[in-house]
């Protein structure tokens, strides 16, 4: 069949002609968009297979609250069942899913930390999918998570940042604290450096955002180093920051300390015998 404009023209009334034209138009526009539109910087690492796998996971586990396209589901009163995830970035997903906060077990004032539902691989795929929606904070570089090799000066500065920005809610040694209406600032004990970094960067739940423009990645690393250092200190009991007070020490003193004293007192008292014998 020889191709000619005239021949094509004669078929313009064909019942399928409209559909064919529509398909050609869609392919052209889609192809042009894919080649010309700016790619979000964070999406580079993630392969398209990850994004697709993430989308499948998302539709099964997340879409019921966050909407099929992660656009969020608003309620009539102006709140939402789940907020929009467009632009929250891979860091937010890695934090929320990686610490088990998402998926939430039930509607509650705050999503608690729990055993993660998704494997590391699945978390990565979900993060890749959400990151592909719009640019947002990426998962931090490992060089800013290496808190073990900071200098004393960095540690000191990290402490200053921590006391200025974090202690109000998280307590001076990161033990956490209460907020109104059943909410709370969680403890930072045994939270990985990556998750602490991501929380600062994305501001999960009620936590404010501390982005990289004002608390730089180096500052964040120093803050993490300080938290880890403070929490690694040997616990001398009683007066440790964030503790309940000298409860264990008190119990030890009452049971062992006073017990020993009582034992000696009984021993002294028990040997007061007199004898009938005369000198």
Partner 1 sequence: MSKDLEPTDGHGDELEPTEPIQDPGLPAHQWRPQDVDAAQEKRTERQISAMFGIATLLAVGFCVAYFAIGDEQTFLGWSAINFALGATLGGALLLIGVGIIQWAKKLMADHEMVEMRHPAASSAEDREETLDIINAGLEESGVGRRPLIRNSLLGAVGALALPGVVLLRDLGPLPHSQDKTVWKKGMRVVNDVSGLPIKPSDLEVGQLVNGEPAVFFPAEGKEEAEYHGHELLAAKAKAAVIVVRMRPEDITPSKGRENWGVDGILCYSKICTHVGCPISLWEQQTHHLLCPCHQSTFDLADNGKVIFGPAHRPLPQLPLMVDSEGYLVAQSDFPEIVAPSYPELARDQKKLDEKS
CB of 45 to partner 1, least distance (A): 22
CB of 265 to partner 1, least distance (A): 9
CB of 35 to partner 1, least distance (A): 29
99 three-state secondary structure = coil
The residue range among 13-21, 40-48, 49-57, 266-274 that interacts with partner 1, by the rule CB under 8 A, is 266-274
**C-beta closer to partner 1: residue 25 or 250:** 250
Which residues from 102-161 bind partner 1, rule CB under 8 A? 157, 160-161
41 binds partner 1 (CB under 8 A): no
Residue whose C-alpha is closest to residue 155's, from 83, 100, 227: 227
**C-beta closer to partner 1: residue 68 or 160:** 160
CB of 58 to partner 1, least distance (A): 23
Q: Are strands 73-74 and 184-185 parallel, antiparallel or unpaired?
A: unpaired
**C-beta closer to partner 1: residue 143 or 232:** 232
CB of 240 to partner 1, least distance (A): 11
CB of 3 to partner 1, least distance (A): 54
Which residues from 204-263 bind partner 1, rule CB under 8 A? 205-211, 213-216, 219, 234-237, 257, 260-261
Q: What is the DSSP letter of 45?
A: S
Residue whose C-alpha is closest to residue 69's, from 52, 86, 49, 47: 86
277 binds partner 1 (CB under 8 A): yes
**C-beta closer to partner 1: residue 123 or 201:** 201
Contacts of 92 (CB under 8 A, 6+ apart): 85, 130, 136, 137, 198, 202, 204
Which residues from 166-205 bind partner 1, rule CB under 8 A? 168-169, 177, 179-180, 183, 203, 205
Q: What are phi and psi of 30, to 5 degrees?
A: -60, -45
Q: Quick count: other Cβ atoms within 10 Å of Cβ 262?
A: 10
Which DSSP string corresponds to 224-274?
HHHHHHHHHS---SSS-TTS--SHHHHHHIIIIIHHHHHHHHHHHHHT---
E strand or H helix that includes residue 74: strand 73-74
38 binds partner 1 (CB under 8 A): no
Three-state SS letters, 11-38 = CCCCCCHHHHHHHHHHHHHHHHHHHHCC
Site residues, partner 1 (CB under 8 A): 157, 160-161, 164-165, 168-169, 177, 179-180, 183, 203, 205-211, 213-216, 219, 234-237, 257, 260-261, 264, 268, 271-279
């Amino acid at each position: 069949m020889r191709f000619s404009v005239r021949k094509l023209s004669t078929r313009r009334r064909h019942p399928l002609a409209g559909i064919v034209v529509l398909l050609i138009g869609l392919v052209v526009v889609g192809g042009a968009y894919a080649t010309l539109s700016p790619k979000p910087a964070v999406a580079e690492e993630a392969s398209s297979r990850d994004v697709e796998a993430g989308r499948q996971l998302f539709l099964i586990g997340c879409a019921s609250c966050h909407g099929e396209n992660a656009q969020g589901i608003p309620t009539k009163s102006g709140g939402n069942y789940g907020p929009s995830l467009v632009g929250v970035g891979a860091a937010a997903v890695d934090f929320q899913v990686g610490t088990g906060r998402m998926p939430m077990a039930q509607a509650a004032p705050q999503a608690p930390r729990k055993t993660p539902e998704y494997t590391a691989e699945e978390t990565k795929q979900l993060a890749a999918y959400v990151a592909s929606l719009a640019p947002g904070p990426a998962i931090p570089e490992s060089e800013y998570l290496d808190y073990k090799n900071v200098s004393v000066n960095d540690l000191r500065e990290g402490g200053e940042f921590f006391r200025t920005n974090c202690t109000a809610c998280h307590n001076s040694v990161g033990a956490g604290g209460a907020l109104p209406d059943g909410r709370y600032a969680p403890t930072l004990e045994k939270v990985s450096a990556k998750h602490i970094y991501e929380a600062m960067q994305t501001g999960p739940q009620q936590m404010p955002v501390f982005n990289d423009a004002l608390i730089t990645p180096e500052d964040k690393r120093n803050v993490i180093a300080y938290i880890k250092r403070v929490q690694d200190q040997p616990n001398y009991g009683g007066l440790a920051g964030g503790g309940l007070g000298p409860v264990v020490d008190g119990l030890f003193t009452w049971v062992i300390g006073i017990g020993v004293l009582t034992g000696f007192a009984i021993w002294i008292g028990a040997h007061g015998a007199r004898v009938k014998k005369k000198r």
